[in-house]
Every structure is written in C-alpha cells, then in structure tokens.
Amino acid sequence: MNIKNTILSGAVVTAAALAPFSVNAAEVKKIGLAVPNLSANYFIQIQESVEEYGESLGIEVITVNANNDSATQVSQVQDLLTQNIDAFIYIPAGAAAATVPTRLARAQGIPVVNVDRNAEGEPGDTFIAGEGVKSAYEVCSHLIGLADGKGEMLMVHGQKGVTPEVNRTKGCMQAIDENEGVTLVGQQWSERWSQDEGFSITQNLLQANPNVNIIFGQADGLAMGASKAAAASGSSQEIFVGGYDGDTGALLALRDGVFDVTATQSTRTMGRLAVDSAIKIAAGEEVPAEQIIDAVLTTQENVEQFIEDHP
C-alpha cells in the first residue's frame, strides 16, 4: 500500500481556491458564529478573522462561545436564530448533539458553513478545515526521524471523536505503522486540548512508561504541556515533542526550542473563506462540499515566517 499517495489525496483545495469568491455581500447583513471556546488560540484566530473580514464587508457578526459544552451551544444557536441572521458559521463544541444546530438552521433556510469540525450525519452546506491526516503524518514522521526511527511513543489526543482528533490520529498512526522500531506505548484523550491537560496526562503516562522518547500532542497546547512534563520527569534521554495548529504563542515557543515541530494551519484564511462561502451560498451559488486547506510542517528552520505573518 502506498501510504504517502493515499494521504495526499485528502488535500482538495488548491492555492487558487483560497482566493475570496467574487460575490456580492449585499444580501448578507448578519452572520451568526458559534465557537466551542475562546480559550484556545486556534478558535480565537478564526473568530477574529471572521469578525474583521465581516466588518470590512459591512456584515455584522454575532459570536457565541459555548465554553466546550454542547448543550450550551444548542441553546446559543437557538437564540442566534431569533436574531434574523442570514448565514451561520458553525464549529461544533463536541460530537454530542453536533447535528442539532445544523438541523435548526436548515429548518429556517439559513446557510450553514461548518469550520474545523463537521457534524456526522448532518454536514453543513460546506465544510472548511485544515487537512489533518497528511500533516499529522508529517509531524509524527519528523519526530520519528529525530529519534532515529526507534523508541517508545506517547500520543496525547484531543477531544475524542471530533473531526480533527480522528484525522490526526489516523495520520500519526500511519507514520508509526511505517516504522517497526517505534512502539506506541501509551495514549489518552483530553477534553479541552489544553496545556494543563497536556501536562497532567503526559506526567501520568511518563510515570508508567519511563523509556518514552517521542510524544505527539494533537494540539500545540497539549504539546507544550507535554514538554513541561517531559522536562520535569528527570529523564536521562532526550524526549522529542510535536504539536499541531501553529498557535501564535506556540510558534514562539517552538522558535525557542520548547518543543520540536508542529503543523501550522491557515486559521485566518479559514475565517475569511467561511464568510465568502456563506455569502455565496446565500446568493444561491454552489460551493464545494469540502474545502480542505493544507497545514505546513513547521520547525525551527521555517518558524520565523509564520511568526511574522500567520496565514
């Protein structure tokens, strides 16, 4: 099986497709944006991009923050739908009840643009996300290379069952499966993709697996927490740590050697593309069912360009 060819097929958006649609925003005056939380830099970047770009087009954006609670998000969306929004940009707070907001919006004829996470069984009119399989494969392959292709590995997952967690697990497992000298000896799922969770999960896993020399945290916060736990473990061997997302603070930490590699996502591009897609759908035009944007493998060698100008 040619794994590299298989995973490369997941990237479906070309550079040309990332350019904004040439559409008229006149019919869209108000957009609802539902985000899982505004503690993660990743979601903050998307929120800021949607709001800033919407404002430049004369569109009011109403943002609601679910604080990682699906029931809260459903209630917030119900309220949004009473405020005469013309389109709905939606990042599910979790797999539970993820289909409900989409159904509610559709019942009122409101276009739905899903970003980062799709609702299984009830997808949005379009789904915009960073490519997760290939780039996670690249991050884990890079980590394995730093460890000379051998050792014991931990994986600190994101929230179980959501699109990014599933894809990043798949990509990393492909890299592990290609390297017989590497064994995944421990893994655990987080709830909030946070640095605190990365620290506590990794600390516990390292106590049970003291010979670990490779750790993949499925978000930069998890990776930064894992790096702190690795430093505190007193291990005599070097432990290589990788993350994911290219958060602004994490890129500075990567530059300074806190951890070793990440995949930088085009979060601000996703926000602008979500607004353009909402406008186009509201105008009755077709958009692709999926708009997937490649993440870029980022190390100390190329991190400065993303610090200076985050995509």
Residue-wise pLDDT for 43-64, tens only, equals: 999 999 999 999 999 999 999 9
Residues 99 and 60 in one domain: yes
pTM of the model as a whole:
0.88
Residues 125 and 271 in one domain: yes
Residues 213 and 100 in one domain: no
Task: Examine residue 258 and state whether it is found in any structural domain, yes or no.
Answer: no
Residues 142 and 196 in one domain: yes
Task: Examine residue 21 and state whether it is found in any structural domain, yes or no.
Answer: yes
pLDDT at 27: 85
pLDDT at 7: 29
Strands (DSSP E) found in 160-261? 182-190, 212-217, 240-242
CB 168 within 8 A of CB 193: no
What is the DSSP track for 22-39?
A: ---GGG--EEEEEES-SS
Residues 270 and 125 in one domain: yes
Residues 122 and 140 in one domain: no
Task: Examine residue 301 and state whether it is found in any structural domain, yes or no.
Answer: no
Compute the C-alpha angle 127/221/193, nearest 5°.
Answer: 55
pLDDT at 95: 85
* Interatomic CA distance for residues 255 and 270, integer angstroms: 24
Under the banding of pLDDT at 50, 70 and 90, the label for residue 2 is very low
Domain residues for 105? 3-129+266-293
Residues 118 and 137 in one domain: no
Residues 159 and 181 in one domain: yes
Task: Examine residue 160 and state whether it is found in any structural domain, yes or no.
Answer: yes
Task: Examine residue 307 and state whether it is found in any structural domain, yes or no.
Answer: no
Residues 116 and 169 in one domain: no
CATH number of the domain to which 22 belongs: 3.40.50.2300
Task: Examine residue 259 and state whether it is found in any structural domain, yes or no.
Answer: no
Under the banding of pLDDT at 50, 70 and 90, the label for residue 8 is very low
Q: Read off the pLDDT of residues 172-231 as tens digits, 9 standing for 90 and up.
A: 999 999 999 999 999 999 999 999 999 999 999 999 999 999 999 999 999 999 999 999
Residues 64 and 171 in one domain: no
Instruction: Write the burial class of residue 2 (CB in 10 Å: 0-12 exposed, 13-18 middle, 19+ buried).
Output: exposed
**At residue 4, does pLDDT exceed 70?**
no
Residue for token digits 């005056």?
29
Residues 12 and 124 in one domain: yes
Residues 141 and 231 in one domain: yes
Mean pLDDT of the chain: 92
Residue with the bigger pLDDT between 244 and 2: it is 244
Task: Examine residue 40 and state whether it is found in any structural domain, yes or no.
Answer: yes
pLDDT at 96: 82
Residue 139's nearest CA partner among 174, 187, 186 is 174
> Which segment of 24-28, 219-223, 238-242, 297-301 scores lowest on mean pLDDT?
24-28
Task: Examine residue 111 and state whether it is found in any structural domain, yes or no.
Answer: yes
Domain count, the chain: 2
